[in-house]
Amino acid sequence: MQKRKLGNSNLEVSAIGLGCMGMSFSYGPPKNTQEMIALLRVAVERGVTFFDTAEVYGPFLNEELVGEALAPFRDHVVIATKFGFNLDPNFDPRGMKGAPGLNSRPEHIQQAVEDSLKRLRVDVIDLLYQHRVDPDVPIEDVAGAVKDLIQQGKVKHFGLSEAGVQTIRRAHAVQPLTALQSEYSLWTRTPEKEVIPTLEELGIGFVPYSPLGRGFLTGKMDEKTTFDSSDFRSTLPRFTPEALKANQVLIDLLGSIAEQKQATPAQIALAWLLAQKPWIVPIPGTTKLHRLAENIGAVAVELTSNDLREIDSAASKATVHGARYPEKLEQMTGR
């Protein structure tokens, strides 16, 4: 497995990480704990060193799972987690009913970190993200609280998720950011306009989540695909039958290039991300061993400058149908 450094930091991780959310949250009921522990440990054996979780995934279940699975490998892995919500264990994980309110007050961050340390079974959190920007708390106060935690030895690196460029700059001035985590893929390219140039200027790494478009870019979905009510995608405008049908043009593009490269559409989508910048580290999630192997295999797929031009040219003609999130959740991004 190749390694990459996140921006100007000394944080080195595997070129592809593993997003752990779907093991406990959002994509149907929580998966079998022992099976997921086994999957996480196979990931380590195959060279993955970067694992992404959050207190809200479950809530709490995912951090506990990751903590148990990775305890034997603590010195060889980087664990990232997130704070930023008032959590009620009974809220609907689809994010539509009883969704938790934002809370990034400094005293709340301190408590959230203490709790995450216990669940993750670690003495220090490698990378701590603010999960969503809280408009009620100045980002300078948030960055200051994380700076204090770094000085206390409880956190090593600071990150933001789905933040806008002004927020990134203001936070970075107080406590240098190691990474920004936001959605980025061939069908969500908004970060290219302002965010990626800003990260490059400031020396901040980029961690794209949903790099396979929540499964869409694997080529395994069409307009007949249905989602259980416990699956977060059942609430997303981009996953209506009409949108899935309209967006198939992207899958056709990936499929044709995958055929030339003797790869899969998912591998092409991940290889495309890796080719954008040397400090980009995607974190595809999976609950299946064969998908884990497929995603790791993307590191070996080499896209030439001609391949990249062909992908960009074709993708630019494909208008993506449907918003990423329902309006309420969309308003929590890009602040």
The enclosing domain of 221 has a CATH number of 3.20.20.100
Taking only the tens place, the pLDDT of each residue in 19-46 is 999 999 988 889 999 999 999 999 999 9
pLDDT-derived band of residue 96, with 50, 70 and 90 as boundaries?
very low
Query: Among 62, 161, 142, 56, which residue's Cα sits nearest to residue 100?
Result: 56
What pTM was estimated for this model as a whole?
Answer: 0.95
**pLDDT of res. 82:** 98
Domain containing residue 70: 3-330
Residue 335 located in a structural domain: no
Q: Of the residues 27, 57, 129, 325, which is catalytic?
A: 57
Better-predicted residue by pLDDT, 295 or 320: 295
Which of 121-125, 298-302, 324-328 shows the lowest mean pLDDT across its residues? 324-328
Asked if residue 328 has pLDDT above 90, the reply is: no
Please indicate, yes or no, if residue 318 is contained in any of the structural domains: yes
What's residue 317's pLDDT? 78
Per-residue pLDDT, 159: 98
With respect to residue 227, please indicate whether it lies within any of the assigned structural domains. Answer: yes
Q: 54 lies in a domain?
A: yes
- Residue 97: CB partners within 8 Å, gap ≥ 6? 91
pLDDT > 90: what percent of the chain? Answer: 82
The predicted structure's pLDDT at residue 90? 60
Q: Domains in the chain: how many in total?
A: 1
pLDDT digits (tens, 9 = 90+) for 239-273: 999 999 988 988 898 999 999 999 999 999 999 99
> What are the tens digits of pLDDT across the range 205-231?
999 999 999 999 999 998 999 999 889
Active site residue 184: no
Give the end-to-end CA distance of the chain in Å, rounded to a whole number.
Answer: 35
Classify residue 32: in a domain, yes or no.
Answer: yes
